[in-house]
Structure 1
Amino acid sequence: MATPQENLLDWLRDAHAMEQQAEKMLKAQSERLEHYPDLKARIDQHIKETLGQQELIDGCLTRLGGSPSTLKDLGGKLMAFGQAVGGSMMSDEVIKGSMAGYVFENVEIAMYTVLIAAAKAAGDHETQAVCEKILPQEQAMAKWILEHLPQTTEAFLIRSEAPNTEAKK
């Protein structure tokens, strides 16, 4: 049996690891993007948001007497590394990266929705407010990716069809 506070603390550790994974994944994608300036700019903006989110989650963990899980953080970073290496080998890297980014943003949306409910149940209004601040950032990024997926796809298809033109990144 676990109390709402114990579950909240565990899920905050999960969120911390998730944000570590997001940072690695976004930075790897941004570093490789060469021909999609709008996508690169939005990813770079979200990297800054992600770093701020990490600080906010760290603050919640510290306030609650917890700390990040080294094992969970390492797992997240390893998953991000695997995604980056795997993605870089695909001929349609920018498309697969955009799709993966959209999926990942929706996982983050689910995580912060859970954290808001858990913080509310635990009576932790500060953590609830932090997660309510983060959630719209994740929703905005997911929305941006989805709305720009047709444009990114069209740009990829044009570049892919042109001779001597790299399309993948």
Structure 2
Amino acid sequence: MTQPTENLLDWLRDAHAMEQQAEKMLKAQAERLEHYPKLRERIVQHITETEGQQRLLVECIERLGGSTSTLKDLAGKLMAFGQAVGGMTMSDEVVKGAMSGYVFENLEIASYTVLIEAANFSGDELTAEACRSILKEEIAMADWLREHLPEITRAFLSRSATPGEEAKR
């Protein structure tokens, strides 16, 4: 039998690994963006948010008597590395990167929605509040990407159709 707090702690470790993966992916994407300054600026802002989210998650994990999972964190970083390398080979890297970012943000939204409920069920208001704070940032990033996907797509298509202009990144 597994106690609710044990599940909460395990899911917090998963979220920490997910944020490690997000940081690695976002940094790789930001480093490569050359011709899409608004997207790069928003990604850099979200990197700062992601680093803060990681700190909040560590506080929650430690308050519950746990520690982060080195194995999960490493797996997340390796997945991010693979995604970054794969993106480098695509001619439409910026569009696919923005789409992937939107999908990943929605995975994070689902994760924090579950964590809030698990924390509430476990009577851990501090963790629930931390996750609500993180959830707001993830929703804001997903909304930004959804709203700007058409603009990013138009900019890519325009650059792609213009001789001598690089559209990829």
Partner residue of 2:68?
Answer: 68
Cα shift at 1:163: 0.7
| Residues 68-119 of structure 1 deviation map (CA, whole Å, 9 limit, x = unaligned) | 1111001100000000000011000000000000000000000000000000
Aligned-residue Cα RMSD (Å) equals: 0.4
Cα shift at 1:164: 1.3
Cα shift at 1:165: 1.0
Unaligned runs of 5+ in 2: none
TM-score (norm 2): 0.99
Query: Structure 2: how far apart are the matches of 1:155 and 1:132?
Result: 34
What letter matches 1:167 in structure 2? Answer: A
Query: Structure 1: how far apart are the matches of 2:27 and 2:91?
Result: 19
Unaligned runs of 5+ in 1: none
Partner residue of 1:83?
Answer: 83
What letter matches 1:87 in structure 2? Answer: G
Total equivalences in the alignment: 169
Asked if residue 133 in structure 1 is aligned to residue 143 in structure 2, the reply is no
What letter matches 2:139 in structure 1? Answer: Q
**Identity across aligned pairs (percent)?**
70
Matches within 5 A, 1:97-136: 97-136=97-136
Partner residue of 1:12?
Answer: 12
Partner residue of 1:2?
Answer: 2
Partner residue of 1:162?
Answer: 162
Partner residue of 1:153?
Answer: 153
Partner residue of 1:49?
Answer: 49
Cα shift at 1:6: 0.3
